[in-house]
Amino acid sequence: MEQTWRWFGPEDPVSLDHIRQAGATGIVTALHHKAPGEEWTRAEIAERKRIIEDTPKGRSPLRWAMVESVPVHDDIKVRAPGCERYIETYCRTLRNLAACGIDRVCYNFMPLIDWTRTDLAYRLPSGATALRFDADQFAAFDLFLLQREGAADEYSPEQIDRAEQVLAGMTEQQRQRLISNIIAGLPGRATEAHSLDGFRSALQRYAQVSSERLQENLIHFLEQVVPVAAEAGIKLAIHPDDPPRPLLGLPRVVSCADDLRRLFRAIPHPSNGLTLCVGTFGVRPDNDLVEMAHEFGERIHFAHLRGIKREADGLSFFEGDHLASDADMVAIVAALLQEEDHRLASGRDDHSIPIRPDHGHQLLDDLDKQVNPGYSAIGRLKGLAEIRGVIAALNYQAGRSLK
């Protein structure tokens, strides 16, 4: 397994030297200054690669191992008139990445917003902080702050009562923080910031898009993109919906094993692959992550090894420790190592699966620093060290080389 680390570019408070010190060798990044729908030019890609791979004297080498992400324009997701130009631009970007030696691309097909949390600094018993999704706070946002049309039809009377109580107990500052946490955009321009009015307008674009329609639009996109990726030698790895259930009336298409089966039946080429995000799929107790790792092993081109802890209401959750969550991380890593063995035995030159720690806790000295939510250095260092220990133990047990 190639141990990688997400890096948000030269402005990231976590430097390349920090990543070297963590022991990662692969960089997961993107051209974060590029808006969805813009072409990534070869010159811009080459410059980012130079920054990563021109190793200073005496330093350990790094390589640009994975793109996360090349954003898909919302016009493609709703299949708006003229969206083909954005698909053509996406294909040009893939060709440009391949020309620069980048051969794996993570992307998602989530409508409008990327991963969604209500609290970016949830205090844990240890004193560290974590990302959290509180279902009642989210309902309070949806029903009473956003005031989304039709929202009340999607909640039970009990949920609405709890949401009202949550909102009544919030100060104005807490309400504004909740709004910001949900719609103010993610690190590295992964999503754009919105005002409440702008967010309402953006939601309207999806008013007539069902999950079935969104899946059709995803397949339409991939029918044009996958042949280009295959010709260029690029493997695409779709990231699941986070959280993997409908929110804000928006459709979802990559939330469970059945979704993946439909997707891979529709586009069977091996370039059409998966990012196995353990934490995201793990929000749903009906997702058996170990079975999914085995079933879709040949399609897994990237893995986010993090876990979540589901709460008593069945809807809320927070980011757990990498080895102390609701996921059987040891068994999942074992399944990925078995897949690598199978690939190696088959003579594949892409047998290694890039993995990275994800959404680490904010702890120790990082508690007093300004960090990208979920992407502080020390919490991810702890997660990577734990995963690295699991890999070493499983390799020793299986008689594999520990080098």
Residues with a catalytic annotation lie at: 239, 277, 304, 358-359, 375
Write out the two tokens for 177. Answer: 């923080």
DSSP class of 366? G
The HSE-up count of residue 310 (CA atoms within 13 Å, CB side) is 16
State the distance between the two ends of the chain, measured CA to CA, in whole angstroms: 11
Distance CA 272, CA 242 (A): 20
- Percentages of the chain per state (helix, strand, coil), in multiples of 5: 45, 15, 40
DSSP class of 154? G
DSSP class of 325? S
- Across the strands, what pairs with 64? 27
DSSP class of 81? T
> In which residue are the tokens 């004297």 written?
57
| Integer-rounded Cα radius of gyration of the chain | 21
Q: Which of 231, 217, 215 is nearest to 83 (CA)?
A: 217
Distance CA 73, CA 14 (A): 28
Write out the two tokens for 56. Answer: 């200073």
Distance CA 170, CA 161 (A): 15
